[in-house]
Chains A and B, each alone.
Chain A
């Protein structure tokens, strides 16, 4: 059952990074659209993301619940030491969520739209940056585990510098660009003609930025001896995955250029899977790397009965939810497998 739980943990992490990411990214794409394209982007986002955005973000809650039930020691560490960036993430999620709904459900359309729009765009950018920074802090090696003796450390040493430094900042930006890349690639398939061209261009542009940032990140980690990056680079499987993702950029690039919606979508998703896999593989299960030691995800597991119970709940929950979610995404055209089925739906 531990494997079932681990599977759902990684699965919800992946889906949050992918779907939640595409959702954040949509706001970033809108932010970086020219003034005359902003409205088109906004309407496209509403049409495409609207029905599913709420579901996308529940992956985060599932992730959190799995962590606290099955990995309490690990959860304890991140909740204490990442308190500050999490407050910022929550603030961002709050602003973004309400701005999205307000701008589409306000009964009167007037100047307040301007305010909602900007709040939506800015928080779409800021939230993934802080999320990325939190993740960066976990692997950045700067967290100081005090072992219950908090005297002798300042507030900044314990709660600020571990997540607020140039390495974590790079990780944050990397994740934000990844989100934008995902969103732009997704939106290509949802539009026609000129707008479609615009999103293809955006997607290509974000791909380049992403690759560049990836290189900078690895180079930085290598030069400044970030343990995570060093281990990552010397692990053949991880490096293999990164090289594979590099090679897959070529078909991705072609797909984007040809505005091949399905191909680019799957390839973009695959990129994320590969990068995430590479990042986690080198260090699994040591996902917290602190100044002195590495904390294993599997440290201090709760008794078998708890894991058993959680595993069963997840299997039942998954069995109920995944078909429903799939149906929702298909109905509103997020997943295109049966093209004909969709036509039928639109004619309804």
Chain B
């Protein structure tokens, strides 16, 4: 492998790491303030305990998100100096606003974590809300920067130079809304199902079920609603891509031959060499319909594009299948939860809790898969249609060492954070048992 490949691997790995903590940082504060509110309203000490435990979780995840994010801000420049030289000024607006959002978040977090018994109760609770809102805001802003890479606007490209820059137009690029909506929902889905799963496991093992059922309920309501909306928003994204990045759509669907009334493949093994898909289930006309709302619409296939501009088809296709599969599953799980509100007997069934334990990691797997679709599907472009990834990479050799270092450091961090969470739960369960 070349330097470029290691740089790409490192970028993918560090982003994939950061996104987990970013999602939790966006959503977990909301769980915390709901529980906190319940404590203020009911003075039921269980809620106070839960709030404080979640608060520790937020602090631990937040710092991991913050340091990995700091690393990312450097990395954009360190790995892709040519990209940043041209793109930096154009997409400066979301990033400078994001800086402000981080600040607000850090300030609010300072107040919240250290404000117990010091600040007026209402104000203290309110700072918790601010953490959540500014977290979501920073997520949306950074995704808008990514949207610009997919749908570059706000400049004229003349003689290899980016001129007549309009930062506002670049910020509000055509991709930002669908991507930001889908990402925000994804963060809610992934975090909610993960948190709900952790607490479901405790209920399943019959460790302080009173407390863990309350925790489960707070988390899963967010998740169930978002999981229901997620496929709808995904459909919006797909239609968007069909217009703007037909090559990405074709790769997602492993769709080689241009045609009308194009079938949708479910599963299937991609043979990139012979440009074929085997072992698939084909639903006639469905792709045409999903992409353009018309069973007879024409969908361009990969063969219509120059071969040296194809993204890695197999990876994108599999990743897309994984995301959509999980999306469907989690939507059904959300519906199951709402059913159980009506049929309360379900709460006494062991399998019910076990099911949510099994679902716990799926949301995050879908998030990672979704980003693979977006980012790998954009290859070989770093700025879609304008700059190739290979033109952007750092001239410094030896990227493999840097990649391996991040691999080791982040693996150790991930293990440590997991271990810390288990200790958190252990302490929570040990009380009054």
Contact = CB atoms under 8 A, between A and B. Distances in A.
Interface of A: 50-52, 54-55, 57-58, 60-62, 64-66, 68-70, 72-73, 75-76, 79-80, 83, 86-87, 90-91, 93-94, 97-98, 100-102, 105-108, 146, 148, 150, 155, 158-159, 302-303, 305-306, 309-310, 313-314, 316-317, 320-321, 324-325, 328, 331-332, 345, 348
Given A72-B85, A306-B165, A317-B96, A108 B423 contact: yes
Given A90-B74, A309-B93, 7 more contacts: A54-B106, A68-B95, A79-B74, A98-B416, A317-B97, A348-B119, A348-B120
Interface stretch (B65-73, B264-272, B327-335): B65-73
Most buried by A among B99, B113, B428: B99
A317 to B, nearest CB: 3
Contact of A106 (B82, B113, B420): B420
Interface in B33-90: 56, 59-60, 62-64, 66-71, 73-74, 76-78, 81-82, 84-86, 88-90
Most buried by A among B59, B164, B420, B428: B420
Contacts of A58: 99, 102-103, 106
18 contacts: A50-B110, A54-B66, A57-B66, A61-B69, A64-B77, A69-B89, A70-B92, A79-B78, A106-B420, A107-B426, A150-B395, A309-B92, A316-B100, A317-B96, A321-B100, A321-B107, A324-B107, A325-B107
A68 B103 CA distance: 19
B353 interface: no
A-B interface, 6 closest residue pairs, ranked by CB to CB distance from nearest:
A69-B92, A317-B100, A79-B77, A302-B89, A68-B88, A51-B110
A55 B99 contact: no
Contacts of A51: 110-111, 113-114
A102 B74 CA distance: 24
Interface stretch (B289-297, B370-378, B396-404): B396-404
A80 B73 contact: no
Contacts of A155: 396-398
A146 B395 CA distance: 11
A93 B67 contact: yes
Most buried by A among B64, B67, B82, B118: B67
Contact of A98 (B63, B99, B166): B63
Given A75-B84, A306-B167, A309-B167, A83 B111 contact: no
Nearest to A317: B100
Contacts of B277: none
Contact of B70 (A60, A73, A303, A314): A60
Given A79-B81, A303-B165, A320-B104, A87 B405 contact: yes
A248 to B, nearest CB: 31
Contact of A72 (B84, B114, B396): B84
Given A61-B102, A75-B77, A93-B67, A107 B409 contact: no
B163 interface: yes
Contacts of B98: 65
B66 A97 contact: yes
Interface bin, chain B = 35 or more
Interface in B323-365: none
Contacts of B389: none
B424 interface: yes
B56 A310 contact: no
A328 B118 CA distance: 12
A92 B260 CA distance: 56
B394 A80 contact: yes
A21 to B, nearest CB: 16
Given A54-B66, A102-B60, A303 B99 contact: no
Given A72-B85, A98-B63, A332 B71 contact: no
B168 interface: yes
A75 B394 CA distance: 13
Contacts of B119: 331, 348
B427 interface: yes
Contacts of B96: 65-66, 69, 310, 313-314, 317
A105 to B, nearest CB: 5
Contacts of B59: 101, 105
B391 to A, nearest CB: 12
A105 B60 contact: yes
A335 to B, nearest CB: 13
A70 B84 CA distance: 11
A64 B106 CA distance: 17
Contacts of A150: 395
B226 interface: no
A55 B106 contact: yes
Nearest to A108: B423
B152 to A, nearest CB: 15
A306 B92 contact: yes
B109 interface: yes
Given A306-B167, A320-B104, A331-B111, A65 B395 contact: no
Contacts of A64: 73-74, 77
B413 interface: yes
Most buried by B among A52, A73, A76, A155: A76
A314 B103 CA distance: 12
Given A51-B111, A52-B110, A94-B68, A325 B63 contact: no
A137 B397 CA distance: 20
B100 A94 contact: no
Nearest to B155: A303
Contact of B118 (A73, A80, A91, A345): A345
Given A72-B88, A94-B67, A101 B77 contact: no
Contacts of B409: 91, 94
Given A54-B106, A317-B96, A68 B84 contact: yes
A101 B413 CA distance: 13
Nearest to A149: B395
A169 to B, nearest CB: 22
Contact of B423 (A62, A97, A106, A309): A106
Given A79-B77, A79-B84, A100 B63 contact: yes
A69 B110 contact: no
Contacts of A306: 89-90, 92, 165, 167
A68 to B, nearest CB: 4
Nearest to B58: A105
Nearest to B424: A107
Contacts of B168: 309
